[in-house]
Amino acid sequence: MKKRALVSVSNKEGILPLMKTLADQEVEIISTGGTKAIIEEAGIPVTSVSDVTGFPEILDGRVKTLHPFIHGGLLAMRGNDQHVAQLEEQQITTIDYVIVNLYPFEETVSKPGATFEDAIENIDIGGPAMVRAAAKNHQDIAVIVDPNDYEAVIEEIKANDEVSKQQKRKLAAKAYRHTASYDALIAEYMTAQTEDEEPESLTVTYRRKQSLRYGENPHQQASFYQRPLSNLTSIANATQLHGKELSYNNINDADAALAVVRDFQEPAVSAIKHMNPCGVGVADTVSAAFKKAYDSDPVSIFGGIVAANREIDVETAQQLKEIFLEIVVAPSFTDEAMAILTEKKNIRLLTVEFQSETPLEQRITTVSGGALVQDTDTLTFADVDVKTATEREPSDSEWQELKLAWNVVKHVKSNAIVLAKDGQTIGVGAGQMNRVGSAKIAAEQAGERAKGSVMGSDAFFPMNDTVEAAAEAGVTAIIQPGGSKRDQDSIDKANELGIAMVFTGVRHFKH
Ligand SMILES: NC(=O)c1ncn([C@@H]2O[C@H](COP(=O)(O)O)[C@@H](O)[C@H]2O)c1NC=O
């Protein structure tokens, strides 16, 4: 029996060579309006779906292929005598190839000014129905949803007159990924419209952005996926201008570096090592901010990831060039800065569009067998109502440093302590199992510089020992959430030691 191909594509790219191959194999091509026109124009014989169904396309294309003459031909099992008999009785003919891709929902809703009605009209119904039916019946049907697969299918048809069983199964799995991902995007869009805050199932979809050479370690396989509808200031939306391809650890670190500088309005530079800030500087210019970030910890920044929230200029580029850095990510680089930095073959240079507002994004982390979902911690110093708990108010300059310490400590793994002075971090205690341990690490790193510095803590002090450690190091002011049953002990100790201490009422755990 003559084979038949059902073709209905919104993305018509690359379709003609496949049509030609099928026609050369004497496969009958049946197609919907716009697709048929293109095939016809190329001089390839094609039958209209309406001629097969005996029914016109109606409702502005909402109903074209939704017909038993199509779906019977897709779903009948060739090895099932009853199915075959029923098809004969109804004069339905089987279909062997389905080449379909769907209405451009993602492109439509990504366009500025897209309306809800535009979105609704771009929800494909007939396409997914055909794709799912063909994929279910993949033992007899090759279903091709991705133009990138046309070439391989053409080769196979030319070589063997048909698509192998193994290939059909792979194509079917891809077809279900395609429709699942398509529906996940629609669900995401619709859920956002309805403000359903805690959906009963999590149906996000990600698209592969990059295959990675390996994961956190060379023996772990890894890939980088991107949320299709996300326009956040994020590493997933970054553009790489120069350097080797990003690694798994690079991506995580660059994400952490960007998160820090996003929280500052003034020029800020962060340097990250293993997901923790090792140096952060704020100043009037990006080059001064980088100098401060560098001076924070000139040892740890070696091999680090640097992010800036302003354009990288010549002056900054000259400083960046002097040290070994894995990545520099910024909103842009001047041409002169690019010329300087690209002299280094391996440094990765990335740009990211800084959005004026950071939309609230949900963060998903996995645990074995499950996922945890929470809002991003977007609160910064500017969002909290800070109250002085001690007799002494911080001085103006102490307030400046407290703000810096608070905005940075949020990005340090708990238990987190940050010492800051002169617009830069000077000591970072990260990831310790007790708070006073983190305080001691931060103070030790700061050394003599700790004298006259301020301290930020991501969570409250359970005892007054951290205040003691702070005073011993020479800290003069502290910012912390407060809220411990024993806050009064810490307040008394701070008063006794002449330290000004303020409470934010907000905790910034980062695990
Ligand atoms: N309603 C239907 O019966 C139907 N059948 C196929 N489509 C879609 O129509 C598009 C192709 O249309 P055209 O060939 O007219 O350009 C494809 O993306 C296909 O998925 C349909 N449209 C969507 O719902």
DSSP for 39-95, please give it. Answer: HHHTT---EEHHHHHTS--BGGGTBSS-SHHHHHHHH--TT-HHHHHHHHHHT----
**Is residue 298 within 8 Å of residue 325, measured between CB atoms?**
no
Rounded distance, CA 464 to CA 364, Å? Answer: 35
Mean pLDDT for the chain overall: 95
Q: Is 490 helix (H, G, I), strand (E, B) or coil?
A: helix
Q: How many CB atoms are closer than 10 A to CB 364?
A: 13
Work out the pLDDT band at 197, boundaries 50, 70, 90: confident
Work out the pLDDT band at 358, boundaries 50, 70, 90: low
Of 11, 27, 126, nearest to 19 by C-alpha is: 27
Q: How many CB atoms are closer than 10 A to CB 161?
A: 10
Q: Where are the alpha helices (DSSP H) in 247-385?
A: 248-262, 286-296, 314-321, 335-341
Q: How far is the CA of 143 from the centre of ligand 1 (A)?
A: 15
CATH class of 233-351: alpha beta
Catalytic residues: 136, 274
User: Which residue would you say has higher pLDDT here, 60 or 282?
Assistant: 282
Rounded distance, CA 460 to CA 409, Å? Answer: 13
Give the residue, out of 32, 58, 123, with the most ligand 1 atoms within 8 A of its beta carbon, to mutate for a pocket test.
Answer: 32
Rounded distance, CA 340 to CA 334, Å? Answer: 10
Query: Are 233-351 and 381-503 in the same CATH fold?
Result: yes
The structure tokens listed for 441 are 């690490």
User: Is the CB–ligand 1 distance for residue 98 below 6 Å?
Assistant: no
User: Is the CB–ligand 1 distance for residue 338 below 6 Å?
Assistant: no
Span 413-433, pLDDT tens digits = 999 999 999 999 999 999 999
Statement: residue 440 has pLDDT above 80: yes
Atom of ligand 1 nearest to the CA of 125: 24
Atom of ligand 1 nearest to the CA of 11: 18
Rounded distance, CA 12 to CA 58, Å? Answer: 22
The structure tokens listed for 151 are 């070439």
Q: How far is the CA of 133 from the centre of ligand 1 (A)?
A: 15
Work out the pLDDT band at 359, boundaries 50, 70, 90: low
Query: Stretch 336-343: mean pLDDT, rounded?
Result: 98
**Is residue 351 within 8 Å of residue 337, measured between CB atoms?**
no
Question: Percentage of the chain with pLDDT > 90?
Answer: 93
CATH 3.30.70.3040 assigned to domain 381-503? The reply is no
Give the residue, out of 39, 64, 131, 183, with the most ligand 1 atoms within 8 A of its beta carbon, to mutate for a pocket test.
Answer: 64
Work out the pLDDT band at 330, boundaries 50, 70, 90: very high
User: Is the CB–ligand 1 distance for residue 63 below 6 Å?
Assistant: yes
Statement: residue 465 has pLDDT above 70: yes
Give the residue, out of 6, 65, 145, with the most ligand 1 atoms within 8 A of its beta carbon, to mutate for a pocket test.
Answer: 65
Span 73-132, pLDDT tens digits = 999 999 999 999 999 999 999 999 999 999 999 999 999 999 999 999 999 999 999 999
**Cis-peptide, bond into residue 415, ω within 30° of zero:** yes
Q: How many CB atoms are closer than 10 A to CB 357?
A: 7
Of 418, 357, 363, 361, nearest to 383 by C-alpha is: 357
Given CA atoms 475, 479, 484, 489 in this order, what sign does their dihedral have?
positive
pLDDT of residue 25: 94
Burial label, 392 (beta-carbon count in 10 A; 0-12, 13-18, 19+): middle
* Position 425, amino acid: T
CATH class of 4-193: alpha beta
Atom of ligand 1 nearest to the CA of 64: 3
User: Which residue would you say has higher pLDDT here, 195 or 206?
Assistant: 206
Given CA atoms 229, 231, 235, 241 in this order, what sign does their dihedral have?
positive
Rounded distance, CA 428 to CA 438, Å? Answer: 8
Question: Percentage of the chain with pLDDT > 70?
Answer: 99
Burial label, 360 (beta-carbon count in 10 A; 0-12, 13-18, 19+): exposed
User: Is the CB–ligand 1 distance for residue 441 below 6 Å?
Assistant: no
**Is residue 15 within 8 Å of residue 109, measured between CB atoms?**
no
Rounded distance, CA 461 to CA 438, Å? Answer: 12
| First-residue to last-residue Cα distance in the chain | 63
239-242: strand order across its sheet: 239-242, 348-351, 325-330, 304-308, 268-273, 276-282, 424-429, 417-421, 454-457, 477-480, 500-503, 387-388
User: Is the CB–ligand 1 distance for residue 207 below 6 Å?
Assistant: no
Q: Where are the domains of the chain?
A: 4-193, 233-351, 381-503
The structure tokens listed for 11 are 């993305």
User: Is the CB–ligand 1 distance for residue 126 below 6 Å?
Assistant: yes
Statement: residue 195 has pLDDT above 80: no
User: Is the CB–ligand 1 distance for residue 49 below 6 Å?
Assistant: no
Rounded distance, CA 442 to CA 429, Å? Answer: 5
Rounded distance, CA 134 to CA 504, Å? Answer: 58
Work out the pLDDT band at 230, boundaries 50, 70, 90: confident
Burial label, 31 (beta-carbon count in 10 A; 0-12, 13-18, 19+): buried
Give the residue, out of 7, 10, 50, 52, with the most ligand 1 atoms within 8 A of its beta carbon, to mutate for a pocket test.
Answer: 10
Statement: residue 171 has pLDDT above 70: yes
Q: How far is the CA of 192 from the centre of ligand 1 (A)?
A: 26
Rounded distance, CA 61 to CA 77, Å? Answer: 28
* Ligand 1 atom 9: residue of nearest CA: 8
At residue 426, what are phi and psi to the nearest 5 degrees?
Answer: -125, -10
Q: How far is the CA of 63 from the centre of ligand 1 (A)?
A: 8
pLDDT of residue 210: 94
* Ligand 1 atom 13: residue of nearest CA: 34
pLDDT of residue 193: 87
Q: How far is the CA of 127 from the centre of ligand 1 (A)?
A: 6
Statement: residue 450 has pLDDT above 70: yes
Statement: residue 356 has pLDDT above 80: no
Atom of ligand 1 nearest to the CA of 127: 20
Element (H, E) at 18: helix 15-24
What is the DSSP secondary structure assignment for residue 385, as one 8-state letter?
Answer: -
Q: What contacts 448, CB < 8 A, 6 or more positions away?
A: none
* Ligand 1 atom 19: residue of nearest CA: 127
> Which single residue is written with the structure tokens 């990288």?
312
Rounded distance, CA 365 to CA 388, Å? Answer: 35
